[in-house]
Amino acid sequence: MSTVETPARKTPDSKTPARPRKPRFTDENGRRYRVWELVLRYVLLLAVLALTVGPFVWQLSTSLKGPTEDIFSSPPKFLPGDPTLHNYERVADTIPVWDYAFNSLKVAAANVVTNCVGSALAGYALARLRYR
């Protein structure tokens, strides 16, 4: 196995090596992005992320608060002072959550099996079809 060595770029002063180029940010058409466009894009993406994930995180934080903490306090506290899973225990004792989860699992499994069988039948029919 041989290796091909490429000589370094020639510079006016051959004693100093050439500096590597800065990486370019380009789109699919080769147009260079401006830095402020990238910053604006990522700021907007972070805002959409906060709007999407924020309510879920707030609900999770509220569910971990104990009975002594006020969920309607002003200003609101994001992190619970004494996190507890007691709320989840009460819900599991009051509502048959595990039965509901098992029923959902059965329905999802039935959907997967039905889709696989239907897709296999459709694939076989398309494979046997003669195109003219």
Domain locations along the chain: 96-132
Q: What is the pLDDT of residues 54-111, one digit of tens each?
A: 999 999 999 999 888 888 888 888 888 889 999 999 999 999 999 999 999 999 999 9
Q: What is the mean pLDDT of residues 21-49?
A: 82
pLDDT at 26: 73
pLDDT at 77: 86
pTM as predicted: 0.54
d(CA 70, CA 75): 11
